[in-house]
Amino acid sequence: MLRKTSKYFLLSLFTGILLLGCGRPAAEPVKEDTSKPDSPKSSDVIEVSFGHGFMPETPHHQAALKFKEMVEEKSDGKLAVNIFPSDQLGSAREQFEGLQIGTQQVALLPTARISGFVPELQLFDLPFLFPSKEKAYELMDGDVGKELLEKLTAQKVKGIAFYEDGFKHFTANSKIEGLKDFNGLKFRTMESPIIMEQFKKLGANPTPIDFTELYNSLQQGVVDGQENPLVTIKNMKFYEVQDYVILSGHGYLGHVLMFSQAWFDSLPSELQQILEETGKELASWQRAEVQKEESQYLEEIKKHGTEVLELSEDSKAELREATKSVHELYKTEFGSHLLDKVYSSIGN
């Protein structure tokens, strides 16, 4: 009996030694991971996608490059801005939607092409509204501009500042010197009720055509003419397929620098401040560059052989009177509040 007990004791002792040799320390309780993997740590570089629709040689792209340089320097490299010109990130609508869902962080887009999201931006499309660039800048940088930018908030987009393309002019394959010369001409327009009504009042036939198809449409005679600022007429080479550029300054085309609201709100306050201040600061620089470039654009257009005409003040007054009722259309759609503010400022 003693021998059997000793046998069991030795077996138990040997088994215990084996378990001790192969054993692992007791596992510590698993702690809940409260970190947010999508939120970058303060030491991480934050990649920023900045898209616009203009060619690399334009003031718009140069302003984007300066934005990149200044933001990266001020943030000590915490923000890395990647620039995508020439609609590489999609059309104006697609880029705006990218801001809304946060797949794109920054965009510089024309007011006319995002007015489907914020219809009040059609204020810029009204014919003969701004008497000068200086007055346009005053309004864009003042209460009128602030109110328009705030309307982007409902679309989950943060409006920062108005940049510019400049005043719009006509191009056509027939000479236009006054109101009667528009009669029956087919003019390409955007699908904007305000702009289409303008051409109807001029006696022309507004024909909506996508911007990407405009050059070919002019070349093939689908339409007789179009309207755009000189920066667009030159860089899209519309003057190559039009006989005349008519300097009318009848309308104004602005651009809006915007951020994705959700993305912006997720950033530390010091980075928010850098982005916002830089975007506002560069608006004046970009506008000045557009003005400097315009004389060069005209020289290049003339060298090509396209005739440049300038409407007389009497002809402009005639066009202004003919399109005056278009302003009433804006009031009917959106009320008179904003337009009355503009009228008050310009003494209309």
- Decide which of 281 and 28 is more confident: 281
Strands (E), 12-112: 46-52, 79-84, 106-110
Is residue 37 in a domain?
no
User: What span, in angstroms and rounded, lies between the C-alpha atoms of 247 and 192?
Assistant: 22
Contact 60, 92 (CB under 8 A): no
- 304, amino acid identity: H
Provide the CATH number for the domain around residue 264. Answer: 3.40.190.170
Residues 280-316: tens digit of each pLDDT:
999 999 999 999 999 899 999 999 999 999 999 999 9
The answer to whether residue 39 sits within a structural domain is no
Please check whether residue 7 lies inside any domain of the structure. no
Residue 180: both structure tokens together: 């009667």
**How many domains would you assign to the chain?**
1
| String of DSSP letters for 300-339 | HHHHHT-EEEE--HHHHHHHHHHTHHHHHHHHHHH-SHHH
Report DSSP state, residue 88: T
Pairing of strands 157-172, 79-84: unpaired
Asked whether residue 312 is assigned to any structural domain, the reply reads yes
Phi, psi of 224 (to 5 degrees): -90, -20
Residue-number span of the structural domain to which 295 is assigned: 46-346
1-18 pLDDT, tens digit each: 434 444 444 344 344 433
Distance from C-alpha of 121 to C-alpha of 140, rounded to nearest angstrom: 11
CA distance 210 to 190: 7
Which of the four pLDDT bands, split at 50, 70 and 90, describes residue 41? very low
- Whether 27 is covered by a domain: the verdict is no
Confidence of residue 43 (pLDDT cuts 50, 70, 90): low
Contact 168, 252 (CB under 8 A): yes
User: Is 34 within the bounds of a domain?
Assistant: no
Structure tokens at 174: 């027939």
Residue 315 resides in a domain: yes
